[in-house]
Amino acid sequence: MSIGPITVKSEKPKVIGIAADHAGYELKEYLVHELRKAGAEVIDLGASQLMPDDDYPDFVIPLARAVSAGTVDRGIAICGSGVGVTVAANKVPGVRACLTHDPFSARQGVEDDDLNVICLGGLVIGHAIAWELVKTFLGARFSGEERHRRRLAKVAELEVQPQRGIIGATPIRASVPQQQDIDPESRDTQDPGPLRLFLVRHGETAWSLTGQYTGSTDIALTAHGEQEARNVGERLRDVAFTQVLASPLIRARRTCELAVPIPAFEIEPDLIEWDNGTYEGRTPTEILAERPEWNHFRDGSPHGETPESVAARADRLIERLRTLEGNIALFSHGHFLRVLAARWIGESVTDAQHLLLDTAALSILCYEHGDPDMPAIELWNSGTQHSAKVEEQVHERSRTEPIARG
């Protein structure tokens, strides 16, 4: 991957994660633009909009965990001075973050100390200098010399607390009444059983209510959406989860918080919604009036994420999930979860258009007979909204059509 005049020396292109609070938001937006213009793959963990009262740990901790878990190769963390994000990032085992103001430190920090997160002060340095530091940081690589490995090993000994990685194996019990359509297997934490993925789309938002495409816009749940989240939580009450993962966007995180009321869920960057580019906030009717043959799952959106990129992201997540066992909860978004389900059973992104998904709907992916070579969909789009639609249709038909009995 080329970043301006600097070539990152790596066997594969680096995936770069970036996060900032309100004080670093403007610099983050600039760096994201420059990185993508240079051909880099960037995962933006927020903030997705300028919110003066936000807190830097809400963004830098998911970034640090993504770096530690290998979801991203290098991280860029920004706050006003760069100090806060440095302190927070270094609380995550496996992260080596440093506040940097000069190219020498940006380069040597990687070469000698295997620096994997660069921290910047959005109110301290200018955009041009920050871009030079980022290019230097990404262009450097760890020397691997014995003396540096020895020193890093001593630092690693201090990380005595095991980390729950983004995809880990720490047992989590969701104490949330069991519904008839969910039949959890053994809840013995010593034998979690075959992998089952519980997919939950976020609850209602103002834009889902109006049918507007919502990708990276960090929109909150409506009051009804919060109740939907609580309702799906009732359905999950007695399910024992080995892992609970949520998209970094607030509508998915809030649904997770209300549905699984325990603090131990992890942010998974790959669960973020499909980036809609210039079609963000528009309705299908508006878009089809301009492009009658347009298909979101086939064509994507101008300046947005391509279907191929979304498929690659889903495949990457599935590859990691398939190493796990037991019940895994995934709180995410309509378009991405539809792609995830299609890729789980070996179908294309275009085929995901046939898998409709309501807000706060519950779906389950599993293996037929527990055989990893036979991925299957056990349950799809199950929820109170879906049930109400079916019931309404049944009642409507009963008024106009004879009911077949037998």
113, two tokens: 């100390």
Give the angle subtended at the CA of 95 by the CAs of 90 and 99, to the nearest 5°: 55
The owner of tokens 């799906």 is 232
Whether 202 is a known active-site residue: answer yes
The catalytic residue among 22, 202, 335, 386 is 202
Whether 273 is a known active-site residue: answer yes
Contacts of 95 (CB under 8 A, 6+ apart): 64, 67, 68, 75, 89, 116, 117
C-alpha to C-alpha distance for 317 and 72, rounded to whole angstroms: 12
C-alpha to C-alpha distance for 20 and 295, rounded to whole angstroms: 34
* For the chain, the helix, strand and coil percentages under 3-state DSSP, each to the nearest 5: 40, 15, 40
Q: Over the range 227-253, which residues count as b (16 or more CB within 10 Å of their CB) and which as e? A: ebbebbbebbbebbbbbbbbbbbbbbb
375, two tokens: 């991925």
The catalytic residue among 273, 305, 335, 386 is 273
Instruction: Count Cβ atoms below 10 Å from residue 141 Cβ, excluding itself.
Output: 13
Q: Which 8-state DSSP code applies to residue 220?
A: P
Q: Which residues are tagged catalytic?
A: 202, 273
